[in-house]
């Protein structure tokens, strides 16, 4: 039994609490003005008592005064709500700061953050509960994964070594919690990819002039190489005006190390913001397929491939129109011109790495699809069922079937490719 997917705007939007306070002050001023106007309307109604039609004039004056009083009260309530929201955002930030300080062993910083939290709680008691709720919601993706992973490690014991090589599952779960507290799994806007990495030798596996543009998130996700020798797929399109567009689909991790650049070394490199061998190889594949700087790019990836797709947007080399990620361990704060679709499973420990400081990424209309794939915890979690690409394709298909306007807008963006003439599709393997 699995949850139905939920579709959201992509986490919390960055908020300037000073701006909230400034808005609250403006509302206070407006409330004062409205209250003054209400008093004047009441006085006018009373003065009208001696005129012809006094009852009617008095009634109209009182109606106007009551409306003004109600507006003044609403302005005061909204001002207080803005201050409550500012206190909640501040409480969340202080908690994250405290947690990161604890992980880093910085006792002084942790104490300062705790002191700020205590003072804020005294002034705004409601901020505590509101922050609890916000952090609980933000931690839904990954929180289930961490709990299941830790439980699975406890019952699996040394078997966990076979899955993660050097680390037992409980240790991995603790590492996930530490990364989430630090917010390491997020990539801020404008952050450059650290140079490095060497392109591997590309092995052409498949070339065809027969290709149909993907019309949905699931259709695109299904083209990500999932098995066999293929590591990257590139589709080329040409518009009537001569402009070109490319769609790239990047596979996830395939090995621990060796000649395959889709290994743990590239995984760690991409996670820490570096140009890994896998990223350099994908860039080379795009170049060999004919892509040039400034060409339109529609980028999709799973797991490590999702990180690489995000890094392609970071480089700024291409006009990335769409960024679709499935089970990504990072969240890239893409530019306003990029429409993003993030698909995450709450019981995927890899996707859990990206949770900490959630972002609304890319341009307006970007969204996150979330689902629990396998709620019961057990030894089967050692196989990471929530991370499998085929499961992510199923989740994407369920999202495509929704009537959510953001998903429909995503389909419209993909339809840009249908307006172009498909030229060819290429698939490549790679070896160092």
- Measured at the CA of 12, the angle between CA 6 and CA 16, to 5 degrees, comes to 160
- Measured at the CA of 230, the angle between CA 306 and CA 248, to 5 degrees, comes to 45
pLDDT of res. 172: 46
Output helix, strand, coil percentages for the chain, rounded to the nearest 5: 55, 15, 30
Q: Residues 6 or more apart from 68 whose CB is under 8 A from it?
A: 34, 35, 37, 38, 41
pLDDT of res. 332: 82
C-alpha to C-alpha distance for 374 and 16, rounded to whole angstroms: 38
pLDDT of res. 136: 62
Q: What single string gives the DSSP state of each residue in 327-374?
A: S-S-EE---TT-EEEEEEETT-HHHHTT-SS----SSTT-EEEEE-S-
Q: Residues 6 or more apart from 287 whose CB is under 8 A from it?
A: none
DSSP 256: S
pLDDT tens per residue across all 432 residues of the chain: 456 788 877 544 445 567 778 888 888 888 888 888 888 877 876 776 555 555 556 666 678 778 888 888 888 888 888 888 888 878 887 887 787 678 678 889 889 989 999 998 998 888 888 877 766 655 444 445 444 444 444 333 433 333 333 333 444 444 454 455 444 555 655 566 767 788 889 999 988 877 889 999 999 999 999 989 999 999 999 999 999 999 999 999 998 888 999 998 898 888 888 889 999 999 999 999 999 999 999 999 999 999 999 999 999 999 999 999 999 988 887 888 999 999 999 888 888 777 543 556 778 889 999 888 876 555 444 557 788 999 999 999 999 999 899 999 999 999 999 999 888 999 999 999
């Amino acid at each position: 039994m699995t949850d139905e997917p939920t579709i959201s705007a992509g986490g919390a939007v960055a908020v300037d609490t000073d701006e909230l306070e400034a808005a609250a002050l403006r509302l206070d001023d407006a409330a004062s003005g409205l209250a003054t106007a209400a008093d004047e309307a009441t006085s006018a109604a009373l003065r009208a008592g001696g005129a012809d039609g006094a009852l009617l004039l008095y009634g109209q004056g009182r109606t106007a005064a009551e409306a003004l009083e109600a507006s003044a009260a609403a302005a005061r309530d909204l001002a207080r709500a803005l201050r409550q929201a500012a206190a909640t955002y501040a409480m969340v930030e202080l908690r994250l700061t405290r947690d990161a300080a604890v992980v880093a062993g910085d006792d002084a910083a942790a104490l300062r953050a705790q002191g700020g939290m205590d003072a804020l709680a005294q002034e705004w008691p409601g901020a505590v509960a509101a922050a609890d709720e916000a952090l609980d919601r933000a931690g839904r993706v990954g929180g289930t994964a961490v709990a299941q992973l830790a439980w699975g490690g406890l019952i699996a014991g040394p078997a966990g070594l076979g899955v993660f090589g050097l680390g037992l599952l409980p240790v991995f779960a603790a590492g996930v919690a530490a990364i989430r507290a630090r917010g390491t799994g997020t990539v801020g806007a404008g952050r450059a990819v650290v140079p490095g990495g060497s392109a591997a030798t590309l092995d052409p596996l498949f070339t065809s002039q027969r290709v149909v543009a993907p019309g949905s998130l699931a259709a695109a996700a299904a083209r990500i190489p999932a098995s066999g020798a293929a590591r990257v797929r590139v589709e080329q399109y040409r518009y009537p005006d001569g402009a070109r567009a490319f769609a790239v689909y990047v596979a996830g991790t395939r090995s621990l190390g060796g000649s395959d650049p889709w290994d743990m070394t590239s995984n760690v490199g991409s996670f820490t913001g570096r140009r890994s061998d896998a990223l350099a190889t994908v860039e080379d594949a795009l170049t060999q397929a004919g892509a040039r700087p400034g060409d339109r790019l529609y980028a999709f990836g799973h797991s490590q491939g999702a990180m690489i797709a995000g890094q392609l947007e970071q480089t700024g080399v291409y006009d990335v129109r769409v960024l679709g990620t499935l089970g990504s361990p990072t969240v890239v704060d893409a530019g306003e011109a990029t429409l993003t679709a993030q698909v995450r499973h709450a019981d995927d420990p890899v996707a859990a790495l990206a949770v900490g400081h959630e972002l609304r990424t890319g341009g307006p209309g970007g969204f996150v699809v979330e689902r629990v794939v396998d709620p019961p915890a057990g030894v089967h979690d050692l196989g990471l069922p929530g991370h499998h690409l085929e499961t992510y394709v199923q989740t994407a298909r369920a999202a495509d079937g929704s009537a959510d306007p953001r998903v429909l807008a995503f389909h419209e963006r993909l339809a840009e490719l249908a307006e172009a003439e498909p030229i060819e599709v290429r698939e490549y393997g790679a070896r160092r």
